[in-house]
Structure 1
Amino acid sequence: MTTVALAGTPGTGKTTVSDLAAGRLGVEVVHLNDAIRDAGLFSERDIERDSLVADLGAVEAWLNDYRASDTQSGHNGDDHGGGGVNLLVESHLAHLLDADRVVVLRCHPESLKPRLRDRGESEASVAENAESEALDQILAAAVDRHGRESVWEIDTTDRAPEAVADDVAAAIRGETDPRVGVVDFIEYL
């Protein structure tokens, strides 16, 4: 089973875009944060951040079991035009897991902050995520783990989710070459 990880700082549009892209491609999407919560794939709750601390070993094992059960149930290669991809895994942690390709969504920190506030994030969380985005933390980790040849960086700033989903679908289909280092938000700092 071929897997694409859709990663990015919280608020970059991963959940919305993953659903749109999966619909265009006819591939299955796993919202990993839901699985972490629902299957208890966390080691503790971070009270200060009001979040769960994922147990990445347990998450990887769960995802491997999921892939195996999906393959056994007959979803082993019919990707309906998805460029050979059968599974799209979406999360701010997706780039830390085994994947064949990684798409990292980016958003300018000044645009990211109101999105996070609208979701009810604390000011500390808003500031932390905006700084993380300015420092390319998820992109850098994705490149470190998967290599430049397997990572696509897509800017979502001031773009409609449908347009971003088109870019994600094109990357997944192999219609665009991998690209990193095309987005720079360091001036935010």
Structure 2
Amino acid sequence: MRRIALTGTPGTGKTTVSDLLDDRTGIDVVHLNDVVREESLFEERDVERDSLVADLDAVEAWLRERERNREDASSGGGSDGGTGSGDDRDVLVDSHLSHLLDAAQVIVLRCHPEALKARLRERGGESEASIAENAESEALDVILAEAVERRGEGSVWEIDTTDRTPEAVADDVAAAIAGELEPRVGIVDFVEYL
């Protein structure tokens, strides 16, 4: 079982793509933002951004415990009656924070800042200040840079979602996970937005 981080600025398509992969491939998807909220794995609430500040140590501990339970079940030590029919599927962790956790590979979804702003406005729930901050972060490659710094270029796949269907993006993500697509960074440049 491998842990794969599916990350990117909010609005790049992580949840849509991870849901497609869950349906198509049966990969074990963890929507980390939901887990942080539901399991109270946060340090504080950022009132200005109306968001939770995740406790990454607590998140990592939660993921490791979940993985241990799945490994125990698949080795016959779990609740499956010793049949060894547990769950040893790869785990896809979907979140704009997942690249900050341990992962075998990191897939960073990217989107042109103008398209990103339109997506965030369409889905609602974000202030104009938050939308502008996310667009600027995307133009500056913030998440990609963090992922490369933590994992190295050989473990990071950058995939542009701008003007592409979720199905096409999911195909690329599936190819990266299957080893059919070489690691790649620096293929997207949105600096002209600034």
Stretch moving more, 124-133 or 111-120: 111-120
Residue 102 of structure 2 is matched in structure 1 by 98
Structure 1 partner of 2:134: 129
- Once residues 167 and 160 of structure 1 are traced to their aligned partners in structure 2, the CA distance between those partners, rounded to angstroms, is 11
Q: Which has the larger radius of gyration?
A: 2
Q: Which structure 1 segments of 5+ residues have no match?
A: 80-85
Q: Secondary structure of 2:163's partner?
A: coil
**Partner in structure 1 of residue 57 of structure 2:** 57
In the other structure, the counterpart of 1:165 is 170
- Superposition pairs for residues 131-150 of structure 1, below 5 Å? 131-150=136-155
Tell me the residue number matched to 2:82: none
1:3-57 deviation digits (Å, cap 9, x = unpaired): 1100000000000101112333221000000000000000000000000000111
Number of aligned residue pairs: 182
* Letter matched to residue 36 of structure 1: V
Query: Are 1:152 and 2:161 an aligned pair?
Result: no
Aligned-residue offset at 1:117? 1.3
TM-score w.r.t. length of structure 1: 0.94
- Aligned twin of 1:83: none
2:77 counterpart of 1:72: no
Out of 179, 182, 188, the residue aligned to residue 187 of structure 2 is 182
Contact 1:24 1:169 in 2 (8 A): no
Q: Distance in 1 between matches of 2:26 and 2:42?
A: 30
Distance 2:10 2:171 in 1: 20
Aligned mate of 1:89, from 86, 93, 96: 93
| C-alpha deviation, 1:73, in angstroms | 2.2
User: Which structure exhibits the higher relative contact order, with contacts defined as CA atoms closer than 8 Å and separated by 6 or more residues?
Assistant: 1
Q: Which residue of 1 aligns with 2:78?
A: none
Q: Runs of 4+ in structure 1 displaced over 6 angstroms?
A: none
**2:124 is the alignment partner of 1:117:** no
Indicate whether 1:42 and 2:46 are aligned: no
- C-alpha deviations, 1:53-111, integer Å up to 9, x for none? 0011111111111111122222453x4xxxxxx11000000000000001000000000
Alignment TM-score, normalising by the size of structure 2: 0.91
